[in-house]
Chain A
Amino acid sequence: MDVDEIINKPSRHPYQCIASVTKGVQSAPNVYLLAACGPRLHSDTGKDEPNGNDEGERPAKKQKTGSSAPSSPNIIKLTVSPDQQHAVAVTDDKVIHVFSVGLDGALQELSERAMPKRPCAIQVLPDNATIICGDKFGDVYSLSLLPKEPSETADATAGARQPQSEQPQPTEQEKPAFKPSATNLTVHTKRNLKALQAQQNQKNFSARKEPLKFEHSLLLGHVSMLTDAVFATRVVEGKERGFIITADRDEHIRISRGPPQSHVIEGFCLGHKEFVSKLCVIPKTDLLVSGGGDEELFVWNWPEFKLLRKFDIAGAMFDAIRGAKDAGKSAVEAAENAKELQPASEHGGKAISMHRINISGLWTAPFANGKGHTETLVLVASERMPALFAVPVNRLQLKKRTELTDCVLAHPPLDVVSIGNSVLVSLDCRSDDGGPLIHVYKLKQGPEAKGSILFDDDEEMMHKLSCLEKVQAEGKFDDKKLDDLLYGVASLRKRKGEDVPRVPHGDDEAEEQAMGVEGYGQMPKGEADI
């Protein structure tokens, strides 16, 4: 590759998160696509008048929210309330943004609240009033969708990341006297006693971390790093019960009761041998699909904590790699790039590159069965792999050898959302000028084996979304930073022989910083390390 090529290499920032909002009456809904591109959130009409009230190719609306300054925090999570009235976005500065969605799809920001740790999962509960938010540190909080007091909004962000200068420095008399927890009865060694003495003589202590200034409650927590959290409901004895299902890096899937009894753990779905990164509850069933670093996808009956079967996702992935050449040069390149470098320490030999499963997405989507009726399937993505894997929901439980169908894409998929029967797939085609950023498919049952799925292009929908492609012309970005934003799953894998947390989750300063603990310097440092 010559210099010219490097300079002129096309680069488009992909949409890292997409979601849909349905507005209007049920008979004539307007569907808007929300798409997050770096720090920006776009709202575009996906389709109009599904019932034949054709007004031609009406130009899609486009709105921009949030600033596009280069330093703006990127959006990492995006969700919509079940009643379609609000959208919630999380940015990588740990702030939860709540937007109202107008009838025309327009977004208006209502509140910003900074969480103590980086959120990794967010959902609006069916009551349309509560947000549950899981963070990487392992805790799951609930907070009201709309902050109760109007003043809360303004204060909320300041609460957790208050710059020291803005805070009036309390005079010495005002500050409660600091008393070390240790005494000369609890510490004995020479060094510790010296540290204790230093503490007792110390006069100035940095302020304790400000508590969050908005209403929130801790529902449950893991000591392990949390990777996903979903709220599920189930009707038992005629009454609906809520559950929170959480997954962590230490192979656990935990099922707790929903609020207000979230302190009760009902059970665990144990069987994964590697980290669990994604959960997908299948609506209207008791099925849960989970995936992570294992070579298989797990299907559970979650109310009974019972493993029903596993799907060989690694096998499907190798099929996809073999099939990549039919999907063009970019797919072959992406499949090659998906290899992970295994350090020599892992297997005793020399370092090698190989493909590994790192489940980065599980979604449900509609497809047309053999009779043309709409059914549901599960779509699976493994990080950086330019493919989607599909299996119909009604075959998840079958013990027979139903396999996953693989569909090779031109680029790695980042997010999936369904609008009507169209399945929108956001692709990381930063280096490809021609390909669409959002590829739209219509899925249907394949002719060969039962359970096989065909991915047909949905040209009509792609045309409607073409304005989203134009938005992309502007802006420069750093490839490495974009990788960090889009691809974090592979780093969850544990490395043998390393006694340090691979992903920051410990207590060293560097880890804390990487974890995003703000104002390390502001934390109480008064107490000696005894």
Chain B
Amino acid sequence: MAGPPKKRQKRDDKPDTQMPQKKFYRQRAHANPFSDHDLVYPTCPEEMDWSQHYPAFTATIPAGVPKDDPITTTDWDDHYLHPRITQDVEVADIGCGFGGLLFALAPRMPQTLLLGLEIRTAVTEFVQEKAKALRIQQDIASREGKEQDLVPGQYQNLSCLRANTMKFLPNLFQRGQLSKIFLCFPDPHFKARKHKARIVSAALNSEYAFVLRPGGKVYTITDVEDLHVWMVDRFEGHAGFERVGEEEVEGDVCVGVMRGETEEGKKVERNGGRKFVAVFRRVADPDWV
């Protein structure tokens, strides 16, 4: 459902330095992951131009060096001429919503690139606008020498992308590229016949395992106990994952941020709901039998 034009107008009216307002970006909280959605996505991870998302991390090619090496390039027609980026995205927040987790996490891991993935267009736009505004504000603060306003990383290490990760995760990330995946307050899809639409399933866990490096972690949080049990069952039942012990979970800064800083986390708090957290570690692939 597209918002009334007034809403869109209001979005455009704000100056770049000002933060976007959520009320102009509200969108129905459900999307059908099986639809085509007119999505834009790269054919393969190499085709992805990350420099637009993380301009501060763009690798500069020294002057005079050609962009392509004629000997090493393959001779089929796709050449990936995008400016290279100094490092890969390592943390993915799948279904990031309004990005609460990302904005809280980014200053805590300023040397790591974080990416929010969201299927709803307006919500994705909000996160992008917010990141843009924060970066500009940080720029101004830095120029004006307001040290106390600066945060580590100055929000240069976070971005957001509209994507249906249930279908296109391998289009975005290479094998073992990620160290952390967050699945925060996913759509519970209560109906049994909709369970295939859940973000956690035996089949999808294989894809999470593929993009995670061994030792990498999947963080889950939900206020729906049945969904929590389902997610734990699916990850524990998958040979690519093991559950992380309670002590380690409680000691993990990310878990604290996930509980307290996500938009849904705050909402559940307000409504007096419960929060169920589970973390799973990617184990190395077994030897061939």
Contacts and interface: CB of A to CB of B under 8 A. Distances in A.
A399 interface: yes
20 contacts: A180-B190, A181-B225, A182-B190, A241-B288, A260-B289, A261-B239, A261-B285, A261-B288, A261-B289, A263-B209, A263-B238, A263-B239, A264-B209, A310-B76, A494-B36, A496-B38, A505-B34, A512-B193, A523-B192, A530-B188
Nearest to B227: A181
A70 interface: no
A432 interface: no
Nearest to B202: A218
Interface string A29-50: 0000000000000000000000
B171 interface: yes
A452 to B, nearest CB: 23
A503 to B, nearest CB: 10
B265 interface: no
B76 A220 contact: no
Interface in A456-502: 494-502
B148 interface: no
A263 B240 contact: yes
A250 B190 contact: no
Interface stretch (A12-20, A78-86, A268-276): A268-276
A252 interface: yes
B14 to A, nearest CB: 28
Interface of A: 137-139, 180-182, 185-186, 188, 208-209, 218, 220-224, 236, 239, 241, 250-252, 254, 256-257, 260-261, 263-265, 267-268, 270-273, 307-310, 399, 494-502, 505-507, 512, 517, 523-524, 527-530
Interface in B172-218: 175, 188, 190-194, 196-197, 201-207, 209-210
**What's the dominant secondary structure at chain B's contact region?**
loop
Nearest to B169: A223
> Which residue among B190, B203, B210 has the maximum number of chain A CB atoms within 10 Å of its CB?
B190
B286 A223 contact: no
Contacts of B72: none
A268 B206 contact: no
Given A263-B209, A527-B190, A221 B201 contact: yes
B238 A271 contact: no
B87 interface: no
A255 to B, nearest CB: 11
Contact of B43 (A208, A221, A270, A507): A270
B288 A239 contact: yes
Interface string B267-288: 0100111100000000001101
Given A139-B203, A218-B202, A264-B286, A399 B75 contact: yes
Contacts of A494: 36
Contacts, number: 132
Contacts of A220: 203, 206
Q: How large is the interface on B (under 10, 10 to 19, 20 to 34, 35 or more residues)?
A: 35 or more
Given A218-B203, A221-B203, A261-B289, A182 B44 contact: no
| A-B CB proximity, top 10 nearest | A221-B203, A270-B44, A181-B226, A185-B273, A265-B210, A223-B166, A506-B34, A527-B190, A523-B193, A268-B170
Contacts of B34: 223, 501, 505-507
A112 B265 CA distance: 50
B244 interface: no
Contacts of B167: 223-224, 250
Given A499-B38, A500-B35, A524-B192, A271 B206 contact: no
B190 A222 contact: no
A236 B288 CA distance: 10
B196 A137 contact: yes
A209 B191 CA distance: 12
Contact of B191 (A139, A261, A308, A524): A524
Contacts of A505: 34
A185 B274 CA distance: 8
B107 interface: no
Contact of A256 (B76, B171, B188, B206): B206
Contacts of A260: 289
Contacts of A257: 288
Given A223-B204, A263-B238, 7 more contacts: A185-B272, A220-B206, A223-B33, A265-B206, A310-B76, A500-B35, A506-B34
Contacts of A507: 32, 34, 193-194, 197
